[in-house]
Amino acid sequence: MPESRRQSLVIDTDTASDDAVALLLALRAPGADVRAITVVAGNVPLESAIRNARISLEMSGADLVPIYAGCARPLVRELHTAQNVHGADGMSGAELTDPVVPVESSHAVEALLAIARDEPGVHDLVTLGPLTNIALALAIDPAFLTRFRHTWMMIGAADNWGNVSPTGEFNAWADPESAKLVLEADGPKTMVGWDISRKYAVITPEEDARLRASGRVGMFTSEINRDVELFASALSGTPGYDLPDPVTMAVALDESLITESEDLHLSASTDESTRGQTFADHRLPRPVPNTRVVVAVDSGRFKEMLFALLKDDDDAEA
């Protein structure tokens, strides 16, 4: 039989604790290659996000992947971070060695446009933060998303349960103008909302102990999510910490994890009262769907992927 096609990913991230775990999954997945990592301000200011992406790349043990710095603020708004969730450094204040891997000189948007133009139909795009870099690329090239095999987005909430306002999920709320532009753009897209993380990607204390026992990468995952655990417990009463970006990455790596989805015509609210709410138009005649919305995933299989890819040593506890 012919060798199966390796998956190639371009990842746009506002790297804090859960983004770092998502990067580790992609960088350590045996059937995937990471073509580039582009960074945007969101969870933390841009410089911290870049540092955390570099740390994650070094922690992965993967070959050198180009990292590009992107937008330091949303399209038209002031930057509001999620440092109250992830800690001032985005990594729960864990003791981490300063990274040495370089950052490329080109701007992230320039890199995204060049990859899409010169390597069309080759890569999947995975977005883990506010969509500022992607929206700017679309402003320059309206067909930008069509040049990727698929775009996987951690954004929004299908059940309209927000984490920064009653209905606003952080990535959509932080730059709603960009979210609206990207959701309404041409190109195949899948949204994995915060509801999926809250329902299917919560790491319990027992599972966290399993990660900590699995080696240095599992210990790293646990340590950088300590602040998230406190926030998640206070916000939604979850028994542990949830991992929105890793479950999005897992779905991008293995689409069969999706157990229920719906094709919808989706947009994002830019109004202050509902800022960052993702919503569908269900009126008849139904508008043409622009986004597949994930409604449910296989939680058990996601967690087994997580444990397997973050397991450090052959003799570590399974």
Domain with residue 245: its CATH number is 3.90.245.10
Sign of CA dihedral 143, 139, 17, 57: positive
Listed residue (251, 240, 282) closest to 265, CA to CA: 282
- Whether 16 maps to a domain, the answer reads yes
| pTM exceeds 0.85 | yes
Any idea what the Cα angle at residue 228 is, between residues 305 and 318, rounded to 5°? 30
Q: Using DSSP bridges, classify how beta strands 258-264 and 291-297 pair: parallel, antiparallel or unpaired.
A: antiparallel
pLDDT at residue 317, as a whole number: 39
Provide φ and ψ at 117, rounded to 5°.
-70, -45
Secondary structure string (H, E, C) spanning the chain: CCCCCCEEEEEEECCCHHHHHHHHHHHHCCCEEEEEEEECCCCCCHHHHHHHHHHHHHHHCCCCCCEEECCCCCCCCCCCCCHHHHCCCCCCCCCCCCCCCCCCCCCHHHHHHHHHHHCCCCCEEEECCCCHHHHHHHHHCCCHHHHCCEEEEECCCCCCCCCCCCCCCHHHHHCHHHHHHHHCCCCCEEEECHHHHHHHCEECHHHHHHHHCCCHHHHHHHHHCHHHHHHHHHHHCCCCEECHHHHHHHHHHCHHHEEEEEEECEEECCCHHHCCCEEECCCCCCCCCCEEEEEEECHHHHHHHHHHHHCCCCCCCC
Q: Using DSSP bridges, classify how beta strands 291-297 and 189-192 pair: parallel, antiparallel or unpaired.
A: parallel
pLDDT at residue 236, as a whole number: 74
Query: What's the CA gap between 44 and 227, in Å, rounded?
Result: 14
Q: Tokens representing 69?
A: 């710095």
pLDDT at residue 180, as a whole number: 98
Q: Tokens representing 153?
A: 């987005």
- Whether 318 maps to a domain, the answer reads no
- Whether 315 maps to a domain, the answer reads no
Spatial contact of 146 and 121, defined as CB atoms under 8 Å apart: no
Mean pLDDT by 10 residues, the chain (318 residues): 73 98 98 97 98 97 94 97 96 96 98 98 98 98 98 97 95 98 98 97 97 96 95 82 97 98 98 96 94 98 98 55
On the 0-12 / 13-18 / 19+ scale of CB atoms within 10 A, 212 is: middle
Q: Tokens representing 12?
A: 């746009």
- Whether 1 maps to a domain, the answer reads no
pLDDT at residue 43, as a whole number: 97
pLDDT at residue 318, as a whole number: 36
Query: What's the CA gap between 41 and 24, in Å, rounded?
Result: 19
- Whether 59 maps to a domain, the answer reads yes
- Whether 316 maps to a domain, the answer reads no
pLDDT at residue 239, as a whole number: 86
174 is in which domain, residue-wise?
Answer: 7-310
pLDDT at residue 63, as a whole number: 85
- Whether 239 maps to a domain, the answer reads yes
pLDDT at residue 4, as a whole number: 59
Residue at 196: amino acid letter: I
Q: How many domains does the chain have?
A: 1
Q: Tokens representing 111?
A: 């890199």
pLDDT at residue 1, as a whole number: 30
